């Protein structure tokens, strides 16, 4: 650094010292000082310019999810920072370490209705666990250290805002307060690895050893614990149910895997959770309580990093605190191999039937094409280390059920926030982090439209992401909710159709269209083989409902109510459901 170092220079240098090499963001006059620091360090700190700050926050969250490292996003004062919020909440809700950096107006005009005078540090008070305004050159390094340590330790969002003029202030020792000793703060993150006390492990093991119908429910906290999960499942004769954020914990065709839980899960998983007498919840905060065993029915051991999460959704007899991998390793030697495998075998049998049903649905040849046909065919073509992202909507169901995890594949979507629009920016984060790996997102036409400009980001950086858009010209999930949960005909959910393949070509990406099921495999194959970014527009039947694995009587009644109230697509829907042979619905 030949010229005197600015606050922005110190910020950038400290980020580099922390190992940050990528920042997702969008420029603005409130962060020009920071941009100069980035411009002069492009060899060490990559700036990825997205088209909407929300995408920057999503990309940082996706980057954190797929790499396990800190994700960083940057936005200007006022509107830029405001645009980050949804993506930051996504990171907070799914426990991802993300640092947001924003600008503020001139330090001596804050609070005077000046241009872009939005106190982002006040606005971010709920989303950010660490949230500070940098006051000068001697303040920046220690604030960066605290922000990063907070994000990594608590697996959450931190936020630093720096007034526009302060970004360019240079350091002079006499501006430093006497209390603030230079170089006092450190850039080391020492991650905690607690192992529960032997007596508590023993209580957990006793409970599992006594159980005759043991089920494991594993979530994102087990993503680094495949071997450990499988070893315990084997010993306890336990089928493994995966919360969706934990989809990659074990491969879907592993004999212990019985699919996902919740509305978009599988019938065998739902049955096993209702029938079990012993439940091991490992690294999951899966939200929907109706899918857990009825309180009091199953003795429960819960493993979580955070003691506050024990007993969150289901009462637990024993709570084991720590990283799932470490805890499962410590627990394993205390588990007596279960001789009676009948509960597991029953679940395996019904899983085989479920897989057959999925095949039947995924290979249907009717027109309009069923959405499952797209994900069924995509699944067959994915690499064994593909990174797949999805969005909220019916697409989450099609992805959850048909995209099977194999080997080193990774999968995510917006779990707890369940926002739309995250799929494509997650893929940007993944493709930037892992050049050479296959990166795919399966998104809805509603969700994709929200951040459609990001197709241009793929082209700008030649990120070979494949965007599979399930085009049903409707906000499908809400259409079905209006009918099956409320008993009302659909309203306000139809979408003006967009030519997504044409749009992709306008941006400089490849555009493909599939309308006929018989073309699905060949078009997807061609798209995946395309060396650059590509959009595959799959035109599907808007009347294919994402039915739960086991449909409840109440849902069936509500459905019937919606039809009786004059749902305009009722005959097409009835036909679809009849074809799916879920007769109890009508
Ligand atoms: C930002 C945001 N707005 C609204 C919702 C409510 N919502 C959940 S799913 C959904 C429909 C998604 O439609 P689309 O992307 O077309 O997927 P589809 O359900 O048709 O497969 C909506 C509106 C949401 N989750 N997030
Ligand atoms: Mg749609």
Residue 157 φ then ψ, to 5°:
-95, 140
Mean pLDDT of 81-96: 98
If one counts every other C-beta atom within 10 angstroms of the C-beta of residue 449, the result is 17
- How many angstroms separate the CA atoms of 473 and 193, rounded? 48
Mean pLDDT of 515-521: 98
| Ligand 1 pocket, residue 477 CB under 6 Å | yes
Give distance in angstroms: CA of 496 to centre of ligand 2: 11
Q: Which atom of ligand 1 is nearest to the CA of 86?
A: 1
pLDDT of 546 reads 86
Give distance in angstroms: CA of 473 to centre of ligand 1: 12
- How many angstroms separate the CA atoms of 99 and 73, rounded? 6
Give distance in angstroms: CA of 482 to centre of ligand 2: 15
Give distance in angstroms: CA of 416 to centre of ligand 2: 20
At 104 the three-state DSSP class reads: strand
Give distance in angstroms: CA of 89 to centre of ligand 2: 23
pLDDT of 584 reads 37
Mean pLDDT of 314-318: 97
Q: Which atom of ligand 1 is nearest to the CA of 495?
A: 16
Mean pLDDT of 282-290: 95
| Ligand 1 pocket, residue 475 CB under 6 Å | yes
| Ligand 1 pocket, residue 393 CB under 6 Å | yes
Q: Per residue, what are the HEC states of 417-451?
A: CCCCCCHHHHHHHHHHHCCCCCEEEEEEHHHHHHC
The angle formed by the CA atoms of residues 168, 172 and 173, to the nearest 5 degrees, is 145
Is 483:508 a contact under the CB 8 Å cutoff? Answer: no
pLDDT of 171 reads 79
Give distance in angstroms: CA of 55 to centre of ligand 1: 16
| Ligand 1 pocket, residue 447 CB under 6 Å | yes
Residue 514 φ then ψ, to 5°:
-125, 130
Mean pLDDT of 185-200: 91
- What is the Cβ-side half-sphere exposure of residue 155, based on CA atoms within 13 angstroms? 15
Q: pTM for the full model?
A: 0.95
pLDDT of 2 reads 60
| Ligand 1 pocket, residue 489 CB under 6 Å | no
One-character DSSP codes across 483-542: HHTT-----S-B-----HHHHHHHHTSEEEEE-SHHHHHHHHHHHHH-SS-EEEEEE--T
- How many angstroms separate the CA atoms of 562 and 564, rounded? 5
* Model confidence at 585: pLDDT above 60: no
| Ligand 1 pocket, residue 372 CB under 6 Å | no
| Ligand 1 pocket, residue 394 CB under 6 Å | yes
Q: Whose CA is nearest to atom 3 of ligand 1?
A: 420
Cis peptide, bond prior to residue 368, ω within 30 of zero: yes
- How many angstroms separate the CA atoms of 341 and 424, rounded? 43
* Model confidence at 580: pLDDT above 80: no
Count of residues in the chain:
586
If one counts every other C-beta atom within 10 angstroms of the C-beta of residue 267, the result is 18
Q: Among 58-62, 462-466, 561-565, which is the least confidently predicted range?
A: 561-565
pLDDT of 484 reads 83
pLDDT of 556 reads 64
Is 295:279 a contact under the CB 8 Å cutoff? Answer: no
Ligand nearest to the CA of 85: 1
Mean pLDDT of 39-62: 98
Out of 442, 470, 477, give the residue to mutate to test ligand 1, the one with the largest number of ligand atoms within 8 Å of its CB: 477
Express as a percent the part of the chain with pLDDT over 70: 96
């Amino acid at each position: 650094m030949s010229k005197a170092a600015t606050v922005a220079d110190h910020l950038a240098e400290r980020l580099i010292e922390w190992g940050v090499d990528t920042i997702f963001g969008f420029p603005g006059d409130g962060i020009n000082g920071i941009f100069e620091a980035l411009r002069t360090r492009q060899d060490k700190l990559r700036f990825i310019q997205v088209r909407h700050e929300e995408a920057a926050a999503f990309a940082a969250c996706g980057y954190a999810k797929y790499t396990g490292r800190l994700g960083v996003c940057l936005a200007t004062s006022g509107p830029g920072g405001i645009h980050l919020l949804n993506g930051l909440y996504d990171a907070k809700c799914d426990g991802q370490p993300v640092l947001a950096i924003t600008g503020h107006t001139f330090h001596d005009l804050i609070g005077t209705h000046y241009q872009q005078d939005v106190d982002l540090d006040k606005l971010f008070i709920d989303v950010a666990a660490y949230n500070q305004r940098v006051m000068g050159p001697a303040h920046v390094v220690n604030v960066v250290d605290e922000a990063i340590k907070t994000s990594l330790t608590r697996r959450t969002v931190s936020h630093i805002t720096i007034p526009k003029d302060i970004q360019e202030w240079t350091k002079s020792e006499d501006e430093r307060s006497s209390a603030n000793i230079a170089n006092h703060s450190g850039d080391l993150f020492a991650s905690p690895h607690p192992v529960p006390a032997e007596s508590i492990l023993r209580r957990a093991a006793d409970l599992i050893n006594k159980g005759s119908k043991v089920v494991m429910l594993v979530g994102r906290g087990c993503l680094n614990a495949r071997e450990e999960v499988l070893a315990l499942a084997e010993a306890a004769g336990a089928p493994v149910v995966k919360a969706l954020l934990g989809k990659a914990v074990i491969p879907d065709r592993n004999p212990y895997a019985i699919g996902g839980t919740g509305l978009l899960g599988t019938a065998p998983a739902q049955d096993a959770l209702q029938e079990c007498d012993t439940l091991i919840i490992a690294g999951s905060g899966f939200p929907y309580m109706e899918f857990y065993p009825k309180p009091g029915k199953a003795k429960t051991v819960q493993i979580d990093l955070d003691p506050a999460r024990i007993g969150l959704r289901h009462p637990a007899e024993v709570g084991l605190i720590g990283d799932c991998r470490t805890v499962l390793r410590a627990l394993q030697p205390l588990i007596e191999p279960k001789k009676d495998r009948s509960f597991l075998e029953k679940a395996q049998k019904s899983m085989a039937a479920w897989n057959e049903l999925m095949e039947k649905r995924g290979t249907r040849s009717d027109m309009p094409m069923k959405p499952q046909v797209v994900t069924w065919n995509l699944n067959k073509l994915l690499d064994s280390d593909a990174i797949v992202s999805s969005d909220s909507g019916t697409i989450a169901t099609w992805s959850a059920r048909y995209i099977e995890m194999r080997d080193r594949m990774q999968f995510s979507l917006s779990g707890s926030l369940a926002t739309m629009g995250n799929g494509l920016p997650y893929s940007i984060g993944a493709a930037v982090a892992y050049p050479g790996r296959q990166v795919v997102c399966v998104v809805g036409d509603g969700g994709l439209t929200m951040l459609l400009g990001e197709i241009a980001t793929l082209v700008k950086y030649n990120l070979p992401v494949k965007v599979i858009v399930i085009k049903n010209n409707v906000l499908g999930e809400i259409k079905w909710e209006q009918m099956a949960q409320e008993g009302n005909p659909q309203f306000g959910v139809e979408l003006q159709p967009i030519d997504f393949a044409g749009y992709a070509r306008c941006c400089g990406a490849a555009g493909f269209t599939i309308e006929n099921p018989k073309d699905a495999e060949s078009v997807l194959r061609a798209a995946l083989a395309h060396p650059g970014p590509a959009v595959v527009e799959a035109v599907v039947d808007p009347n294919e409902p994402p039915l739960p694995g086991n449909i409840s009587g109440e849902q069936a009644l509500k459905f019937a109510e919606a039809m009786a109230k004059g749902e305009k697509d009722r005959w097409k829907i009835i036909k679809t459901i009849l074809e799916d042979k879920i007769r109890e619905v009508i």
